[in-house]
A and B are shown apart, each in its own frame.
Chain A
Amino acid sequence: MNRVKLIGAFIRRRPLTWGFHALTLALGVAVLTAVLALNAGLSGRFQRDLGGIDLVVGAKGSPLQLIMSAVFQLDQPTGNIPLPVVRMLAGNRLVQRAVPVSLGDNVGGFRIVGTSTQYPQIYDARLAAGRWWSAPMEAVVGAQANRSLRFSVGQAFVGDHGLARGGETHRDSPYRVVGVLAPTGAVIDRLVLTDTASVWKVHERETLEHLQALNAGKPPDPNDINRSPGGREVTAVLVKYRSAMGALMLPRYVAAMPNLQAASPAVETAHLTTLLGTGAEVLRAFAVGLLALSAVGFFVALYAAVSQRRRELALLRTLGARPSLLFALVTLEGLALGLTGGVAGIALGRAAAVFAAHAASRGGGPSLPLPPIGGPDLMVLAGALLLSLLAALAPGFVAYRTRPAAALGAG
C-alpha cells in the first residue's frame, strides 16, 4: 500500500473524466512544443542555408523574392543579370567570394543549379561518391535529391524546363552524373549542381532567338553592361564580404548600377521571421489559452473529486492519517495528471512537428531540422506541472480541512 496505488485507484475510478482533463492539457502542451520545435527548425534552417552569404545580387524586383529564390531555392527568380556582373563582383577588393547561381530547369522537381565549384564550399559539402564537375553538362546530385532520384555516377538524365515538375523536356542536352553529395542539412541537399555553362548550353537556342528579336535594328553598344557577349547571363550572385567594409560600400555600389539590386539575407530573413512570427504568436497565445482552460478544468475536477471522496478522506483520518497526507494525495493526483498530460502533449506536439516538417519538405519546401527534445520542452513540461499544482492547491486545502465528524454525519 502506498500513495501511488491510492491515487491510481482514485484516477482509475473516473477514467473518462481524468482522460478528458489530461487531454486538454496535452493539447495545450502539444501546440506549444510543436511551435517551439518548428520555430527552432526554421531558424536552424535559415542559419544553415545562409551559410556565409552576406549579400545577394540579382535582377530588380522584390528583395525577399530574390533571397527566397537564390538562397533558399523556394521562389521564382526575379530575372537574370549579365555575366560581367559576376566578374566585376569577384574582382572587387571588398569581396572575398562571389558565387554565380543560374536557375531554369529541374529534374524530378529538384532544381538544376548552374554555378561554380565555390557553391558547395558555402555549405562545406562533401562528395559521397564520384567527383566534382569539370566540364559543362556534368552534374553533382545533392543527398536529398538523390534519395528520390536514385541516380548513380555515370548515369545520364535530361532536365525539364522550369523550376517545378512537368515542363518541356530538354531532350537534346542530356546531363551526366559525375558525383553525389553527402547530406549537409542545408539547401544544397535538394539541388542538382552543374556548371554555369551547362545552363547556357541547354538554353542556347532559345536565348539566341530571344536576343535577336530584342536587339533587332539596334547597333551593339560595347559599354552596355546589360549586353554581355552572346547574351550570357546568370540569375544571381551570392557574395561574401572580405571585411565589414563590404557591408557599408557594396550595397550602394550595386544599387547604383542599372537593373541590379542587392539584397541582404539577414535583413530579409529577419523580415520573414517577423511575418511568420505573427502566426507563431497567435498559435502560442492559443496554446496558453488552452493551458489556462485545462488548469481551470483540473481545479473543477479535483474539487468535485474531493467532495465526492469526503467520506473516504474521513475514513483515512480515523485511521490516523494526518491532514497533510490528505493534502498531499490531492496535489499528487494533480501532478500525476499534469505529468501524464504534459508527456502526452510533448509526444503529440513532436509528432505534429515531425509531420509538418515532413509535409513541408515533401511539398518542395525546405526540410526542417527539428532540434532534439530538450530544454524548451522540459520548460513547457515544468510549466504544465506548475499549473496542475496550482490548480490542486485549493482542492488540496479542502481535503486538508476534512472534518470526519461532518463526513460521518455527526454534526
Chain B
Amino acid sequence: MLAVESLVAGYGRHRLARLGRLEVGPGQAALLLGPSGSGKTTLLLAIAGLADVLEGTVRIDGVDVAGLRGAARDRFRGRAIGFVFQDLHLIAGLSTLDNVLLAPFAIGARQDRRRALALLEELGLAARARRPAETLSRGEAQRAAIARAMLLEPKLILADEPTASLDDETCRRVADLLGRAAAETGAALVIATHDLRLRERFEVCVSAEPVGAQAPVS
C-alpha cells in the first residue's frame, strides 16, 4: 500500500510539484489528476525514488523510499513498483516475452518464464510472446507492459497517462485492465492523468499542484 503525506517533489533545489495527502490500500486505485505540466510525472517519479522527495514522506508498504540509498533504492523500485507509460512500452529487437522478463532482469531476480507466459496469455498476447516487440500494435505493446508491471507482484503500480490519445472504448478497456491488474496482484494503483474520462471509473482522486499554486484537493 501507498501513503503520501505533504509531498513536494523536484530535483535538487527545484521544487516542481506538490501532493497533499494520498493513501491507497492493496487492490485499490487512485487518480492523480492535473493538466499537462502540473508535475504529475515528477510526483510519480518521486514516489518511485527517481526524483527527489524535497518535503513530506512517501511510504510504500511501510518503507520510506527516500531513505533508501543507491542500489537498495533501485532494487526496491524494481521489486515493489510496476510502471506503465503512455507510449514507452517495449524495447524493439527483443521478443515480447523477453520484454516482460526485463523486469526481473533489471534487478537480477529470478526470471519466471512460466508466469510471464501465463500473464501474456491472460492479456490475450499468447500468440505474440515470441514475436519481436516492434511487430506488436500499440495496444498490444501496452498490454505487454502491463503484464511486465504485474510480473513481480508489486505493492504499487504507477501508470503515467496510460489512456492519453485513446478512443473511449479503448480507454475504458485499459482502465479495466489496470484496475484488474492491481486487484489481482493486490497492488495499490495510482494513475497520473489529465484524462477526465477516467473519473467515471475511479473514485479516489487527488490533484498534482505545481509548486506555488494552491489548488484544492478534490
Contact = CB atoms under 8 A, between A and B. Distances in A.
B77 A10 contact: no
B160 A408 contact: yes
Given A1-B105, A5-B98, A408-B88, A320 B78 contact: yes
A158 interface: no
A10 B134 CA distance: 13
B91 interface: yes
Interface residues of A, number: 27
A408 B161 CA distance: 12
Interface in B115-148: 148
B16 A13 contact: no
Q: Which of A1, A12, A325 has the most CB of B within 10 A?
A: A1
A137 B107 CA distance: 84
A410 B42 CA distance: 6
A interface, by DSSP: helix, strand, loop or mixed? helix
A156 interface: no
Contacts of A311: 88
Contacts of A314: 88
Contacts of A411: 10-11, 14, 16, 39, 42
Among A2, A13, A317, A405, chain B packs the most CB atoms within 10 A around the CB of A405
Contacts, number: 90
A408 B85 contact: yes
A247 interface: no
Given A311-B88, A318-B48, A321-B78, A409 B41 contact: yes
Contact of A1 (B77, B85, B93, B101): B101
A322 interface: yes
A9 B105 contact: no
A19 interface: no
Contact of A9 (B41, B75, B91, B104): B91
Contact of B39 (A2, A13, A319, A410): A410
13 contacts: A1-B94, A1-B101, A1-B104, A1-B111, A9-B92, A318-B81, A319-B77, A319-B148, A320-B75, A321-B74, A404-B50, A405-B51, A410-B39
Interface of B: 10-11, 14, 16, 39, 41-42, 45, 48, 50-51, 70-71, 74-79, 81, 83, 85, 88, 91-94, 98, 101-107, 111, 148, 160
Interface of A: 1-2, 5-6, 8-10, 12-13, 311-312, 314-322, 325, 404-405, 408-411
